[in-house]
Structure 1
């Protein structure tokens, strides 16, 4: 599981934006200006019935600051 969902920087992070793009999730803002330090992205190959999918997760980041629920929209 991606650690980003509990990080203070999720709404501004370029790495999280990259991972979202790999999951084909579009973000509608251009606020991704934060570049985190020393990140490790894990890519898992998962077999589905007749195909394979790639699952992208950020598993380590030195810029991680815990803030549970940061991914929840404040609307």
Structure 2
């Protein structure tokens, strides 16, 4: 699971925007993507079912993480 969902910086984080782009998720842009986190670690899980390959992108480590539960909810 991506730790971004409980991070204070989620709404303007460049790495979160990158991950959401790879999830092909459309998120409302209420703020400019201006925050560049340091020392991030993205885990990509690969699942193959027949001829279909699914990639799941999750941020699992970030030194810029500041806990704020519920930050994923875009108002």
TM over 0.5: yes
Q: How far is 1:63 from its partner? A: 0.2
Of Structure 1 and Structure 2, the greater helix share is in: 2
**1:1-75 alignment, distance < 5 Å:** 1-29=1-29, 31-48=32-49, 50-74=51-75
Distance between the aligned counterparts of 2:9 and 2:41, measured in 1?
Answer: 16
Which runs of 5 or more residues in structure 2 are unaligned?
A: none
Q: How far is 1:31 from its partner? A: 1.2
Which runs of 5 or more residues in structure 1 are unaligned?
A: none
Q: How far is 1:11 from its partner? A: 0.0
| 8 Å CA contact 2:5, 2:70 repeated in 1 | yes
- TM-score, normalised via structure 1 length: 0.90
Distance between the aligned counterparts of 1:3 and 1:40, measured in 2?
Answer: 11
- TM-score, normalised via structure 2 length: 0.90
Q: How far is 1:59 from its partner? A: 0.2
The Cα offsets for residues 17-37 of structure 1, whole Å up to 9 and x where unpaired, read as 000000001234261110000
Number of aligned residue pairs = 74
Distance between the aligned counterparts of 1:4 and 1:18, measured in 2?
Answer: 12
